[in-house]
Amino acid sequence: MPDKNGILIVFSGPSGSGKDTVLKKLTEKNDDIRVSISMTTRPKRGQEVDGADYYFVTKDYFEKKIADGEMLEYAQYAGNYYGTPKAPVDEMLNAGINVVLEIEVQGAAKIRKIYPDAVSVFLMPPSLPALEERLRSRGTEDEETLSHRLFIAEQEIRRASEFSYVVVNDSIDDAVCDFETVIRAEKMRFSRNKNIISEVISNV
Ligand code: 5GP
């Protein structure tokens, strides 16, 4: 039997690459995968719901959580704080749930250091023009924010080789399937099945 702890999965990709859409489908299809809810100081966008999409908080509140050691990781992105509250992630992993952290590349690098067993997946847009087109059609950013996000996107894409896996998002269904394949393969790593030999032998 595999070890009972869940797998921690870091999922990054530039703004507009389709991370939310991929994760929505992935979690609808797989009960054993949950997405950690991040905390942010950026204002709510579109139909976002506090406590579901993010915990929307003030800068003072966020800085208190950092000082109290309650954040697993955090980073500044486009002028706002974003971070992962630690306790719920640990609880889910201990309960055998696979947890996805949808975070940007600086946070991903921190998680890799803290959890060497974490799996990291980068969602790659098919091209920069395709990314720009998706960001524009989303219509949630003004022109200045949009060009800032595109600038960050290029920097992030250059860091994609820090990740263990790259999934190209030219079709959502294929990207979800690729993501599931990564998790299936990761479950079979020997390092996640340390007890299997003794279990099989003692069952003779
Ligand atoms: P957005 O404003 O588009 O929702 O998110 C901006 C960026 O922040 C995205 O790349 C997203 O993955 C990242 N992000 C969201 N939550 C977190 C978090 O908890 N930690 C870090 N480091 N990045 C996050």
Does 1-32+97-204 match 37-95 in CATH topology? no
Q: Which residues are CB-contacts of 99 (< 8 A; sequence separation ≥ 6)?
A: 6, 7, 8, 9, 33, 34, 35, 36, 89, 92, 93
Percentage of the chain beyond pLDDT 90 is 86
Bridge partners of 119, per DSSP, are 9
pLDDT attached to residue 123: 98
| Mean pLDDT of the 48-55 span | 96
Compute the distance between CA of residue 85 and CA of residue 87 in angstroms, rounded to an integer. 6
User: To the nearest 5 percent, what fractions of the chain are helix, strand and coil?
Assistant: 45, 20, 35
Minimum CA distance residue for ligand 1 atom 24: 103
Smallest CA-to-CA distance from 147 within 159, 125, 131 is with 131
The topology under which CATH files domain 1-32+97-204 is Rossmann fold (3.40.50)
Contact between 63 and 24 under an 8 Å Cβ cutoff? The reply is no
Q: What are 106's two structure tokens? A: 């600086």
The CATH architecture one would assign to domain 37-95 is 2-Layer Sandwich (3.30)
pLDDT attached to residue 141: 82
Contact between 35 and 102 under an 8 Å Cβ cutoff? The reply is yes
- The domain spans of the chain are 1-32+97-204, 37-95
CA of 104 to the centre of ligand 1 (A): 5
CA 152, distance to chain mean position in Å, is 17
- DSSP 3-state of 188: coil
pLDDT tier at 186, thresholds 50, 70, 90: very high
Tokens 């524009």, residue located = 136
pLDDT, tens digit (0-9, with 9 covering 90-100), for 117-149: 999 999 999 999 999 999 899 888 889 989 999
Q: Which residues have any ligand 1 atom within 6 Å of their CB?
A: 15, 38, 42, 73-75, 77, 82-84, 102-104, 106-107
pLDDT tier at 68, thresholds 50, 70, 90: very high
pLDDT, tens digit (0-9, with 9 covering 90-100), for 3-48: 689 999 999 999 999 999 999 999 999 999 999 999 999 999 989 9
| Mean pLDDT of the 102-110 span | 96
* pLDDT higher than 70, residue 199: yes
